Structure 1
Amino acid sequence: MQDTDNTGDAIGVRWPELLVAVFLLALGVVVIVDSLRVGTGWADDGPQSGYFPFYIGLALAGASGWTAFKQLMRWRTVEVFAEREQLRSVLAILLPMVVYVAGVAFLGIYVSSFVLIGYFMLRHGKHGWPLTLGVSVGVPAFFYGVFERWFLVPLPKGPLEALIGVA
């Protein structure tokens, strides 16, 4: 712990901790308000729909409110959250995952998974093309067989699957 803001090439803990606490506090308040809307008491047949979510929202709001309060009380204390190089490593994984999630909505889960697995194997795993193509095709094909054929659970499909008649 340091008393100055001279942390060099690091990100302090103040803002990330406070922003996450405020976000979770707001989320807890939304859960509480919606639980009150649907009812938080007991009906003749048991708890109403909002009974359990209300108490979870209350716990979430209380814990995050306390965290935000504590962070504001020790605002002048500078602690290191992460070095910039550590954040680069996190972003190297986070950004492709965000693209993957968006890709599932437009391309379907199988094509997006093929691209994501291939990217990670080539970029981060430094594997060759034959292994990358085998795994990138094999993993989505395996999950297609397990979920779509065996368990009969449809997963999101995109235009390519519709084109080849899998949709």
Structure 2
Amino acid sequence: MSGASDSQVSHSQIPRGLSRRPVEITTALLLIALGLLVLYDSYGRGAGWDNGPQNGFFPARVGWIFLAASLFILVQSFRTENRVFVTYEQLGQVARVFAPLVLFVALVQPLGLYVAAGIFIIVFMSIVATSRWWAIGLTAVLVPLACFWVFELQFRVPLPKGPLEALLGY
């Protein structure tokens, strides 16, 4: 009787998420496609030896090694135990970090690096951290200003700027 309840308890404690096998198969197939693309391009450029290596000679050799390793990963994915690769809770944590990063990258072109960084800091700290609103605001202003001072004024490295910097004469 206690054995049945033990199996029910242990079954309910198994984390739900993406299984390892499909993730490994998908990764292997993507790597195989990449290896085939490298080989296609290498042989299109010439992968032989004509009084020396042609343009695609070395990339083709690397492509064959890459393809072999990818095929090995595919075969191994069918031979390993199929267990949880990542739980849905862990994927949620990744999404909490990934979503603000995507927003940041999308905003760099229209708003410039410094304004996009300020917005990223606000969104990221609001979602991930448990900081006070004034600390988030202060960080969102001071970090881009410090980066502007270091890169633009001290090192004279021009980074992508937007309308705010243009309004201020930069």
Per the normalisation by structure 1, the TM-score is: 0.75
Q: Does residue 66 of structure 1 match 2:72?
A: yes
Aligned to 2:38: 31
**Cα separation, 1, equivalents of 2:32 and 2:75:** 11
Going from structure 1 to structure 2, the CA distance change for 1:82 and 1:55 (only over 3 Å counts) comes to same
Q: Does residue 137 of structure 1 match 2:169?
A: no
Aligned to 1:19: 26
Aligned to 2:120: 116
**Cα separation, 1, equivalents of 2:146 and 2:49:** 46
Q: Which has the higher helix share?
A: 2
Aligned AA for 1:163?
Answer: L
Q: Does residue 126 of structure 1 match 2:133?
A: no
Per the normalisation by structure 2, the TM-score is: 0.73
RMSD, matched Cα: 2.9
Aligned AA for 1:57?
Answer: G
Percent identical pairs in the alignment equals 39
Deviates most, 29-38 or 81-90: 29-38
CA contact (8 A) 2:111 2:161 kept: yes
Question: Gapped runs of 5+ residues in structure 2?
Answer: 1-11
Pairwise mapping of residues 71-90 of structure 1 onto structure 2 (< 5 A)?
71=77, 73-74=78-79, 77-90=81-94
Question: Gapped runs of 5+ residues in structure 1?
Answer: 1-5
Deviates most, 10-19 or 25-34: 25-34
Larger Rg: 2
**Cα separation, 1, equivalents of 2:153 and 2:62:** 37
- Tell me the matched-pair count: 158
